[in-house]
């Protein structure tokens, strides 16, 4: 009697639209209910940006790049009483998010490297803007860290989360 050696798959198959909807709902939930937990919020948002860029039709990219920061501003979660200063950064956060999304699309041959390069470019871009604003005394110095190191950390963690989820979830829809 011969045993049939079968491997057990650790992936589940879900439609991209379901995963995308789950990401959006999760982003709204954590932004609204996890007060001042920006490491969690930033990581999940950046993971959503990577997922959208690499799995969802391009017509949704701009919405996803813009949406989380608008929710955060309305909730005042990011900087509490300093949220008013965030308004100066909104267009640049949107551009930074969009950069984070398009770089992995352009560097498809560099699978792991693009998940390092994209966060570095996004954080560098936002840090440059923050440095300009701080230099001209438009925003407090605390924004240098918030728009530099913190953006880099959450974008790298978001890349890691995206890749971790990608290991366990097989999307079966096409763009």
pLDDT, tens digit, 9 for 90 and up, residues 43-65: 989 999 998 898 888 888 998 89
Q: What is the pLDDT of residue 115?
A: 93
User: Which tops the pLDDT comparison, 39 or 22?
Assistant: 39
Q: For the chain, what are the domain ranges?
A: 12-169
Q: How confident is the prediction for the chain on average, in pLDDT?
A: 84
Q: What integer pLDDT is reported at residue 103 of this predicted model?
A: 93
Residue 147 has pLDDT above 90, yes or no: yes
pLDDT for residue 96: 98
The pLDDT assigned to 7 comes to 41
pLDDT tier for residue 170 given thresholds of 50, 70 and 90: low
| Adjacent-strand bridge partners of 160 | none
- pLDDT tens across 70-92, in order? 887 877 766 677 778 989 999 99
Torsion of CA 127, 97, 159, 108, to 10 degrees: -110
- Check if the beta carbon of residue 69 is closer than 8 Å to that of residue 75: no
CA distance 108 to 124: 21
Average pLDDT over residues 128-155: 97
| Residue the block writes with tokens 């991209």 | 16
Q: What's the confidence (pLDDT) of residue 126?
A: 98
């Amino acid at each position: 009697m011969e045993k049939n050696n079968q491997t057990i798959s650790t992936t589940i198959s879900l439609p991209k639209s379901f995963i995308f909807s789950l990401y959006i709902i999760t982003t709204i939930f954590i932004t609204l209910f996890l007060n001042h937990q920006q490491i969690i919020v930033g990581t999940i948002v950046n993971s959503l940006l990577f997922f959208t860029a690499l799995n969802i039709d391009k017509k949704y990219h701009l919405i996803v790049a813009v949406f989380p920061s608008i929710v955060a501003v309305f909730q005042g979660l990011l900087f509490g009483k300093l949220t008013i200063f965030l308004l100066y950064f909104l267009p640049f956060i949107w551009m930074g998010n969009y950069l984070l999304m398009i770089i992995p699309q352009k560097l498809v041959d560099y699978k792991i490297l693009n998940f390092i390069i994209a966060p570095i470019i996004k954080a560098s871009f936002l840090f440059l803007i923050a440095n300009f604003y701080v230099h001209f005394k438009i925003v407090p110095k605390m924004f240098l860290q918030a728009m530099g190191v913190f953006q880099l950390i959450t974008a790298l963690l978001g890349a890691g989360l995206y890749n971790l989820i990608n290991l366990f979830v097989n999307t079966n829809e096409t763009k």
